[in-house]
Structure formats: C-alpha cells, structure tokens
Structure 1
Amino acid sequence: MRGEYESISTVERWNSLLFPLILSVVDYLAVVCGVGMAYGLRKYILPGALDSFHINSLYIVVVLPLVFLLFLHINFSYERNAPYWVIGKRVFIATLYSLIMAVFLMYFTHVAEDVSRLFVVLAWVLSYICIVSFRFVTESILSAYNWLYEPVLILGAGKTSEALIKVIEGDSGYRYKIIGFLEDTKEVAPSLAKYPILGGFKDAQQVIKKTGVKTVLISAPGLGPKALTNLINRVEPLVKSVSFVPDFMGAPVGNLQIQGLLEARMMVVQSKNNLARWYNRWAKRIFDLVVALLSLVIIIPVCIVIGAIIYKTDPGPIFFAHKRIGKNGKEFPCYKFRSMVVNSQEMLEKYLEENPEAREEWESDFKLKNDPRVTKIGAFLRRTSLDELPQIFNVIKGEMSFVGPRPIIQAEVEKYGEYFHDFCMVTPGITGLWQVSGRSDTTYEERVSMDSWYVHNWSVWMDVVYLIKTVKVVLKKEGAY
C-alpha cells in the first residue's frame, strides 16, 4: 500500500446515532423558542392582540415540538451528508406540514379557544428561522472542534474526486472525514496530495476491514459498467452504505428520480423539466414579483442616493439602458446605473485599437478587467453589484427574473451555439449560477454551460439558494469587475 491508515475510533462508530440525537435536542429547543415567540407576539405585542387567544403551555413545550420532530425525521432532515440547501428545503417542508398538523390538533382537541391565523404563520416562519439558526450554530461548533464527522473512504483520486472534494469542503451539509483514497493509477489530482493513498481498487476489501470504515464513495466515472458493478458488489457487504458518481457529467441531475426494476436487475433514471410545466413558470413569476415588491421599500431610497452621487461626480444620464437578449430571443432594455463615462463607445473603440491584448480579451469574454471607461463611482458600484439595482424594474415588467441566465448582447448569440435554445426558454436573471461560482473570474464557456444547466435543473428552491449565495458573494466582493 502507498499510505498509512488508522482504524476508526469507537466514538466515530457511534457518530451516525449521536449526530441526529444532538440535532433533535437542538430542534426541540428551536421549536419551543419559535412557537413561544409567535405566541407572545400574537397575544401581547402585535396590533389586535387577542385576549381570548390562549394555548396551554404543555402544548407549546411538549405536543408541538414532538409533532415537529416527527415530520423532521420523516422528511430526512437528519441526514449528515447532503447539500445544506437540500437540508434547508427538507426542514422548510417539514415545518409546513408540522404547522398544518398542529392546526388540526388545536381545532379538534379545543386546545386553543381561538385559533389565530397570524399565530400559525408566525409560528411557521419563526420556527423555521430558529431551527436553521440553531442548527447552523451547533454545526459550526461541531466543525470548530472537528466532532461528529463520518469517516469515508473514497475510491478514485482523479479530477472527478478533486471536484467532489471541493464541494464537500465548501458545503457545511457534508460532514465527511476523509480517511484516504484508493487509486489504481499514479495520476493523482494535485489538490488531493494532502490525503493518504491507501492502495488500489483491488485493496478495497482489505482497507475497509483494517480501518473499520462504514461509508464508501466511488468517484471513478471512467470505470466501465462491469468494473463498477464488480467493485460495488465487493465493497457493499462490508459497509453500511456505498455511493458512486455515475458518468453523468453535465446532465440535468437537479430533478432526478430513480426507479429500480428488480426483475430486470436495472434502473430507470427520469429527469423532469420543471420549466416545461406552466404552473412552475407561474410560481417563478409570482416569486419574482413578491420579492421585487417587498424589496422596493429598501431599494428606492438607495437608488435615489446613488443617482445623486453619480450625477454630482460625473454629470450626465444616471441610468443606462443596454439592449440585451431575453426570453424567446427578444431584445429588451436592461437597466443599470451608469458606471462609465458618457462617450464610452468611442473610448472603447479607440482603446481596443491601441491595445491588441485588450481587444483579444474583449472578443473572448465581452469584458475588460481594467476597463478605462469605468468611472470612480462606477468601479465601486460594479464591485458591490449596486449598478444592477435598477434591474428590479425589469423584473417587475417581466423582462427579467431575479435568478436566471445572464442577459447577453446580440454579438454573443453566436458564441452560445446550440445552448442558445436553452437560454431563450426563460427570462434572464439579475443573478445566476455563474455569479455565485466565481462571477467574472469564470471563463465564457463555463458561464454558457452553467446557464444551460440552470435551465434544465430549475426549481423555486434553487432560486432561493442562489439569491442567498449571491448576497454572500457580493459581500465578499468575489470576482467582480
């Protein structure tokens, strides 16, 4: 073998039970806190407080938390190794079902003299916020002390594993402790050099027995079907779970359903196109309108201040409407705060003529990292993405969405090639997958493939996740220019 390995400790063997047990206790406290705050707000603080509204404390401290814990368990929200946004979605659905059940219980058992609809909504929202917040704090503490991670052996140490490890390390939903890799070739991805190579695929059974690891992840999509099946069959009897990365790179995997055909010893994989369903398109539109209208209260005052600064520092138009390609290939005016000098087009042509390297960069990405046309206030607006605030009016008009493919100009259509059809299926977005994956530091080809992937994998929850991630990226000022 090419590396040393350690046996799994006794504590690590019990991690699969300890982690959900701790989260259950945390969730109990979170629900009591959330429901308690909702009750206090509705009865004593909010306008129209109801003197007749009363719930027995036993119901708040025992019955409701047990209902929540039941649905949280049923909805698989205690899995240790799933993307954090997936767990967040499961918790969201579980809290919704829990409150529906709670309303029935309160009504039929006459626990509450007057079931307040506002209390129900508050209890749902505050319970969800408390559960997510309490879990985040708990998991941050566990991560800080490196507690309750699940030991995992990974078979394959190539580029696929490199991408896989990047996701695992960047998403707190994955609580894997990587004990090492098995790899048949000498070509190990550079970023994986910090982990031990414990042998080749032929050593899988021996390594599993020696280490006591109970979770195996096969990340070698280049293996043929027979070799992969043989490897799974050899490993599975020795562990609790085996996962594998199939050769589906780039395929629409966001909405997959897998059905096993036992008699034929095969599986059928179904991919759903959510945007092909009219009610999903309406859900996306309603989501955009609700978020946009709620945001106007904050955005309009900010826009007034920014507009005044732009006019004072560089007199001229405050807004800039650039022709972009939207849904069905139709052009629309994409609104932005003006971040360039007034004669920007003439300056660009002259600059590109005098700088061949800049022309090559422009023709490749339609962007310049050091754009001489950008004003001082414009540079700040771009770094913070505040120049895109006026696009909220494009969202209200239905020309754009909060999340979607980036709006492109006519000259970029040719570069999209076969992916242009995917682009035309939805309205372009203020933010999207490429913005939360490096923004301007990603290559043009990567942005195109990300836009296509988003269209084929869309869900409302994905839009929520990307909006949250966009805020994080903007605050860190990652890849913006």
Structure 2
Amino acid sequence: MGLHTPSAPTVPTSSRGVTLVRRGLSQGLALVLSDILSAGLCFGIGHFLLGLFGIAGARKETLAIWLCVWLAWRFYQGLYPGYGRSPQTELRLHTVSTIQVMLVQLAGALALERLTISVSGVVVVWLLILLMALPLRYGTRELLVRSGNFGRPISIIGAGQTATLIIAHLQAHPAFGLNPLAAYDDNPALHGNELHGVPVLGPIEQALTDPLTEQALISIPGARAEVQQKLVNTVYAAFPVTWVIPDLFGVPNQALELHNIGTMATLEIRNNLRSQRARAVKRSIDLLMSVVGTIAIFPILLLIAVTIKLDSPGPAMYRARRLGRNGKLFDCFKFRSMYRDADVRLKGVLDADPVLRAEFEATHKIKDDPRVTRVGSFLRKTSLDEFPQLLNVIMGQMSLVGPRPIVEAEVVKYGAVYGVYRQVRPGITGYWQVSGRSDTSYRERVNMDNFYITNWTPWLDIVILMQTIRVVLIGEGAY
C-alpha cells in the first residue's frame, strides 16, 4: 500500500475545531429541545386523557425531575447528537432508556411516597413519550439535515470499491451524521478522481499531516494484517475519532459485541435466530398486529375485493405456492392483480421483445406488465395486494417482516444462501421492500434477504415496519 507514517502526526489546532464543537453542541441542543417538547406534549395529552376518566395525572414537578434523569441517561447513551447510530440501534436505545426511567421512577416513588403517587399518570405519560419522542426527534433531525446543519465531516482513508460503497450509503442516509468530505489513497492513479462527488485528494500521508476533519474512516478491509495494524494505529494517533471497516464481509454485524481477553480484542457474535425469547417476541408481535390489523381494515378488504370483481372477471383473491420455513410449501394469499389469461399475455409480449424477456428472466418482473389489470396496477403500487397475507401470518406460515416469499424455481438462484433462508418464515414486508423494491437487481435482493436473516433482531423488524409505511405512501420502487 506504500503507507509512510509520519513520526508524530497531530491534528492542528484551528478555529475549524472550535466551529465543529459548537456545531455539535447546537445539533445536540436541538435534539434535547425536541425531547423536552415531546415530553411536555405527552404530559398535557396524558393529563387530558386521564381527566376524562376522573384519574389523577402525574405531578409536573416530579415529572420534571425524572425528565432531567431521562435526558442525562440519553446523553450518556450518545443520543445527543447521535452520530453513527443505525435506526435499529437508535430505536433500541430510545425504548430501553424510556422504559428504564419509567420503572425507576415508579419504584422510587412507591418506596418513598407510597400511595400518594398517581401510577396511572406516570405510566401514561412515559408510554406516550415512548411513542411520540422518537418521531419528533426524526422530524427535528430531518429539518437539520435539510438545512445542512446535521452531521460531522469525515475523511475516507482508502478510495477503492469499499470506500465507494460507504460514501454512497452515507450520502443516501444523511441522518447517520457522517458526511464524507475527502478521500485519500496511496494509488496515484486515483488522485484527482471523485467518488460520488467526494474528491480523492492525495496519498494517505497527506490526510495524516494535514487533516481536514476531526474524524476518519478507514475503508481498506483487504489490507494485510500488519499493514492494517500500522494504518489503524497511525490514523488513530492523527484523528480524535477513527472508524474502521474490518475484513468481516458476510459476517453478521448487528449481533457483534466487542470484548477483551487480556490485551486482545475479541468479537462475540450472537445467533439471534437461536434465541427462543427473541423468536417468541417476534411471533407475539406478528399475532397481535396481524389480528388487530385484520379487524381494523376489514371494511377496506371488502371494498378492494368488490373493486377487483368489477374491474375484470375472475376471483378477488388467489393462492400462490411459495416456500416457507424449513422448505415447506404453503398457499400465499394475495388480491388478484392480473388478468385470468395472464400467462398468455406475458408470452406474447416476451416473444415479441427480447429485451423484455431478458429483463424478466433476470428479475422475474417487468415494468408495464401486460398481465396486470388497471386496479391491479394501483394495488401493486400501494402494496394493497399483500393485505390478505395477514391471514398467512395468523396461520403461522408467514411473518410481518422477513425475507420475500419465493417459488421453488428460485432456490437455485439463492445458492448457499437458501440454507439460511429456510430457517425463517417469509415476510409480508422486509429489508428488500424498504430498500428499493423492484428497482434492485435479483442478486441485491438475495444479499438483502441474507443480511436480514443473519442480522435479525426484533428492533430491526420494528424499523422495517416503520419504513414500510413511508415506502408504501410514496410508492417507491413498486411495479
């Protein structure tokens, strides 16, 4: 790699560092104010709701004290401003911190104040905060992002394929809070190039002797161990904060925990699929949400069924044979979105257009599909055709969140990944559906399914469910 390490790399003191500190403080303060506002709103709503039933609400003086405890605990968790937190990690920290403070307040109050505390008032307020604080935080952060006032600039060490992927992801997800400013690489052929608009300024030594940022991300996972060690230690000495992408591609990364054995760093990798407790939580969420959801939208289901029958002849629903957990076949319910002679229509179009045939063979989907009815096009765009699969969830054949259901012919395309795929129930929605849907290649879909299964946690499920609402509302990638 040709890395030349300076004898004493240092970050020069300048007004830039002071500006970044102030910027971080202002961003963190905005999120603190967001949490305070959400707590105030929840207190008012809770007080109003309890008043309707003649129940005493929580005392605002006591709640103010515990609100300070909650804010301090979230500050300790790194949520202000919370750079580098994945959505599922942020959700987990928010949920855990809120429930912990609620339980501690209840325990402390009952021990000291005995029956003078309004248990209902405390519980209602904190549960409202649990539901409302995170969306309000998202909204505040979105405003900061749109105004260009969120995140820290970061230098990318290495300008290869990994760096290209990392920069693209960070730019597509500005809420992550790491904004690539410049890249460095010891390959002279890369100097002067750009990676998604980020310039490759020069060799790695330039980043160490004249750092432009307070943070650096090392994206050279393929380097030899001794080179990687030297690089990490050198960059670590030059930058206050260093991120490292290790050579662990394909290894589950949502279940990693760092430990030390003596002076050696070790990684604990937990197989969440083996956790009976986590699986029980997933199944409980599936049953609760699918039963309640089916009852709530039953009139909509009837309306859709009638509309389908009026639009084209044929049944309102159909059964599609799909592979489920442990490779068992099951009937996947869907609203009919195609004509009864769909196969004949498709064959005619594919025989006449080799380009469309190649597209269909690669992805099993085509835009402007001749098989799809007028109502069916709307159902697919809004994903309403998937609603009958709530019955599959109740029957235990599917999950609300999981890898996409596949047919037997697709097993060969999954290859070795199918051994992982068959461990879980397929889902109505999943990582693929909220990450581009039909705009992704088949290989990307397989990789997304593999990532979801090997990195599955209940928190990831909840995040995907929330993102599904956004994707359905805007019709992103659906056809």
Q: TM-score, normalised by structure 2?
A: 0.90
Distance in 2 between residues matched to 1:256 and 1:182, nearest whole Å: 28
String of CA shifts for 1:355-377, please: whole Å, max 9, x gaps. 44444333332223332211111
Distance in 1 between residues matched to 2:235 and 2:443, nearest whole Å: 38
Partner of 1:246: 246
1:222-301 → structure 2 map (5 Å cutoff): 222-263=222-263, 266-301=264-299
Distance in 1 between residues matched to 2:370 and 2:249, nearest whole Å: 39
Residue in structure 2 matching 1:99, options 62, 79, 102: 102
SS at match of 1:414: helix
**Deviation at residue 21 of structure 1 after TM alignment:** 3.9
Residue in structure 2 matching 1:57, options 36, 57, 60: 60
Distance in 1 between residues matched to 2:291 and 2:193, nearest whole Å: 48
**Deviation at residue 281 of structure 1 after TM alignment:** 1.5
Partner of 2:116: 113
Q: Confirm or deny: 8 A CA contact 1:260 1:268 kept in the other structure.
A: yes
Tell me how large the CA RMSD over aligned residues is: 2.5
Distance in 1 between residues matched to 2:395 and 2:16, nearest whole Å: 58
Partner of 1:8: 16
Distance in 1 between residues matched to 2:160 and 2:192, nearest whole Å: 5
String of CA shifts for 1:86-112, please: whole Å, max 9, x gaps. 223211111010110111132123286
Shift in CA distance, 397/229, structure 1 to aligned 2, threshold 3 Å: same
Shift in CA distance, 345/91, structure 1 to aligned 2, threshold 3 Å: same
Distance in 1 between residues matched to 2:406 and 2:143, nearest whole Å: 43
Residue in structure 1 matching 2:338, options 337, 340, 348: 340
Shift in CA distance, 10/315, structure 1 to aligned 2, threshold 3 Å: same
Q: Confirm or deny: 8 A CA contact 1:84 1:172 kept in the other structure.
A: no
Shift in CA distance, 191/112, structure 1 to aligned 2, threshold 3 Å: farther
String of CA shifts for 1:95-133, please: whole Å, max 9, x gaps. 01011011113212328635334x344222311234223
Deviates more, 1:297-306 or 1:195-204: 195-204
Residue in structure 2 matching 1:311, options 304, 309, 312: 309
Distance in 1 between residues matched to 2:247 and 2:49, nearest whole Å: 52
Partner of 2:371: 373
Amino acid at match of 1:216: A
Shift in CA distance, 428/84, structure 1 to aligned 2, threshold 3 Å: closer
Q: Confirm or deny: 8 A CA contact 1:252 1:271 kept in the other structure.
A: yes
Amino acid at match of 2:338: M
1:158-237 → structure 2 map (5 Å cutoff): 158-185=160-187, 186-187=189-190, 192=195, 194-208=197-211, 211=212, 213-237=213-237
String of CA shifts for 1:19-62, please: whole Å, max 9, x gaps. 334433432332233234223321x12xx322xx35433113x2
Amino acid at match of 1:159: Q
Distance in 1 between residues matched to 2:72 and 2:318, nearest whole Å: 53
Distance in 1 between residues matched to 2:415 and 2:181, nearest whole Å: 43
String of CA shifts for 1:8-29, please: whole Å, max 9, x gaps. 2532133344433443343233
Distance in 1 between residues matched to 2:147 and 2:354, nearest whole Å: 53
Which ranges in structure 2 are unaligned for 5 or more consecutive residues? Answer: 1-11
Amino acid at match of 1:75: Q
Distance in 1 between residues matched to 2:192 and 2:350, nearest whole Å: 39
- What fraction of aligned residue pairs are identical, expressed as a percent? 32
Shift in CA distance, 22/472, structure 1 to aligned 2, threshold 3 Å: closer
Shift in CA distance, 480/190, structure 1 to aligned 2, threshold 3 Å: farther
Distance in 1 between residues matched to 2:200 and 2:274, nearest whole Å: 45
**Deviation at residue 142 of structure 1 after TM alignment:** 2.6
Deviates more, 1:149-158 or 1:427-436: 149-158
Partner of 1:419: 417
Partner of 2:452: 454
Q: Confirm or deny: 8 A CA contact 1:56 1:111 kept in the other structure.
A: no
Amino acid at match of 1:237: A
Q: Confirm or deny: 8 A CA contact 2:145 2:175 kept in the other structure.
A: no
Distance in 1 between residues matched to 2:349 and 2:389, nearest whole Å: 28
Which ranges in structure 1 are unaligned for 5 or more consecutive residues? Answer: none
Shift in CA distance, 309/364, structure 1 to aligned 2, threshold 3 Å: same
Partner of 2:151: 149
**Deviation at residue 163 of structure 1 after TM alignment:** 1.7
Deviates more, 1:371-380 or 1:186-195: 186-195
SS at match of 1:196: strand
Q: Confirm or deny: 8 A CA contact 2:58 2:118 kept in the other structure.
A: no
String of CA shifts for 1:382-433, please: whole Å, max 9, x gaps. 1111111111111111111111111111211222221111111011011111
Amino acid at match of 1:234: T
Shift in CA distance, 7/178, structure 1 to aligned 2, threshold 3 Å: farther
Amino acid at match of 1:343: D
Q: Confirm or deny: 8 A CA contact 1:159 1:189 kept in the other structure.
A: no
Shift in CA distance, 373/17, structure 1 to aligned 2, threshold 3 Å: closer
Shift in CA distance, 310/134, structure 1 to aligned 2, threshold 3 Å: closer
Amino acid at match of 2:43: V
Partner of 1:406: 404
Q: Confirm or deny: 8 A CA contact 2:208 2:238 kept in the other structure.
A: yes
**Deviation at residue 145 of structure 1 after TM alignment:** 3.3
Q: Confirm or deny: 8 A CA contact 1:150 1:176 kept in the other structure.
A: yes
Deviates more, 1:193-202 or 1:105-114: 105-114
Distance in 1 between residues matched to 2:194 and 2:31, nearest whole Å: 32
SS at match of 1:421: helix
Amino acid at match of 1:13: V
SS at match of 2:360: helix
Q: Confirm or deny: 8 A CA contact 2:46 2:57 kept in the other structure.
A: no
Q: TM-score, normalised by structure 1?
A: 0.89
Distance in 2 between residues matched to 1:278 and 1:364, nearest whole Å: 37
String of CA shifts for 1:204-258, please: whole Å, max 9, x gaps. 32112xx4x3211111223222222112222222322111111222221111112
